Amino acid sequence: MGRYLEVIVEEARRTGDLAAYYGSRIKPGDVLGHRVEPRMVRWLLTTPPFRFDVGWKDYIGGHLFDRAVAQRLVPCNTFHGFNGKALYSFRAARALGAEKLILESANSHVSNVKAQHVAARTLCPIENTWLNSAQHDKALREYAMADVIYVASSYSRQTFMERGVPESKLRFRALTVSPRYQAFEPSEQTRPGFHILFVGRVDITKGLHLLYEAFRRLDVPGARLSLVGGASSRGMRRFMDRWLKEDSRVRLGAGDPLPLFGDADCLVHPSYEDGFALAPMEALHCGIPVIVSADTGMKDYVVEGQNGFVIPTGAWEPILETLQKIARNPLRGKFPKPAHASGF
C-alpha cells in the first residue's frame, strides 16, 4: 500500500494538484505530508479480542485512521481516498465543499473478494480472513459515495462491472515499481539449485496452503523455497511452524525481499484474489519469471511460457506442474521488462 500511495501522491505533485496527503508514514521533510497515527490503534490491536482476529484488526486500524483524517481535513476541491479508509473522510470532504470524491480500490470488488476468501477458507479453515462483514459493508458504502473509482487491472474492472458498478465510474490506475528493481547481472556467488520465492502476506487468501501441497511434492534437485512476509493469525503461525519443521528446504522471514531476487529462479503468487499484486511485477522487472493465479491483476502482464504462467485459482496441482516446467526449462533473464498497461 505504501508504493500505491507513493504513485498517487507523486502523480498529483507533478501535475500541481497536490494540496496535502495523509499517511501513517510520510516522506521526510515533505511539507505537504501529514502523519496520522490514531492514539488508540496500538493499544486496541494488542488487546483481546482484536489481537487474535485479523479481520477486526484490519477494520479497526482502517476505521480509526479514516476518522482521524476526517477530523484534520481542510476545504478542498477533490478528495482521494483508499478503500476501507475513506467513508468518514468522504463525508467530511463533502461537507467542506469537495466537488469530487475519488476512491482508490487496491482490491477487486469487495463482494468478489468475499467470495474468493470463502473459497480459501473452505479448503483450509485454519484462520479467519482479513475481510469481515463490517469491512465488506463499509466498502459498499464507499463505492456508492465515490464519484470515480480507480482500479489497477482489467480483472478488477470486470468484477466491479459484474456487480453493477457503471463502467463510466471506473478509471484505470497504472502502477509502477520502484527503480530499485532491476535485472541482476550473473554472479559467481549465485547458489546452485532451484530457488523459488513467495513475497506477501502469509495467509490462506494468498494460497500458502496450496504452495505447501505443491512444494512438498516437488522432486527437483536443490529445490528451496524462500517465503518473505509475516503471518497475522495464530492458526497460520502454527501451520508455518509445522511446515518449517517438516521441510528443511523452506525458509520464512520478513524484511526486504530484493536481496533474495539475485538468485531466484521464479516467484509464485497463488493468491485467491489480488487487484494487482506488486511482488510479481517487481520480479518481472528483475528478470524473474512468475506463476500467478487467474484471480490476480498480474495476469495482464504475463506472456504465457515467456515470462511466466497463469494457473487456475485454488488448486495445488497446477503449481507443482508449472514449477516442474520452469525447472526443466529456465526462463530467468530471457524476457524484456513488462510494458505497463496504458488503460482498458
DSSP secondary structure of 186-224: P-TTPPPSEEEEEES-BSGGGTHHHHHHHHTT---TTEE
pLDDT confidence band for 185 (50 / 70 / 90): low
Greater confidence (61 vs 203) lies with 203
Residue 337: band (very low, low, confident or very high) from pLDDT cuts 50, 70, 90: confident
Does the structure show a pLDDT above 80 at 45?
no
Fold of 2-172: Rossmann fold (3.40.50)
Q: Among 109-113, 175-179, 240-244, where is mean pLDDT lowest? A: 175-179
End-to-end alpha carbon distance in the chain: 22
Q: What pLDDT was estimated at residue 309?
A: 98
296 vs 344, which has greater pLDDT? 296
Q: What is the pLDDT of residues 246-269, one digit of tens each?
A: 999 999 999 999 999 989 999 999
SS3 assignment, position 228: strand
Kindly tell me if the per-residue pLDDT of 52 is higher than 90: no
Domain with CATH 3.40.50.2000 in the chain: 194-328
Alpha carbon distance 119, 231 (integer Å): 19
- Predicted confidence (pLDDT) per residue in 57-78, tens digit: 888 888 999 999 999 998 999 9
Per-residue pLDDT, 171: 96
pLDDT for 238: 96
Give CA torsion, residues 246, 250, 255, 260, to 10 deg.
170
Assign 162 a pLDDT band (cuts: 50, 70, 90): very high
Which CATH fold would you assign to the domain 194-328?
Rossmann fold (3.40.50)
The pLDDT of residue 233 is above 70: yes
* pLDDT mean over 79-101: 96
Q: Are 97 and 75 in contact (CB under 8 A)?
A: yes
Question: Stretch 199-207: mean pLDDT, rounded?
Answer: 95
Query: What are the phi and psi torsion angles at 227 (to 5°)?
Result: -105, 125
| pLDDT given for residue 188 in this prediction | 47
Q: What is the pTM of this model?
A: 0.91
Rounded Cα distance between 130 and 70, Å, is 24
206-244 burial string, b = 16+ CB within 10 Å, else e? bbbbbbbbbbeebebeebbbbbbbbbbbebbeebbeebe
Beta-carbon contacts of 203 under 8 Å, excluding residues fewer than 6 positions away, are 54, 127, 129, 130, 231, 232, 233, 236
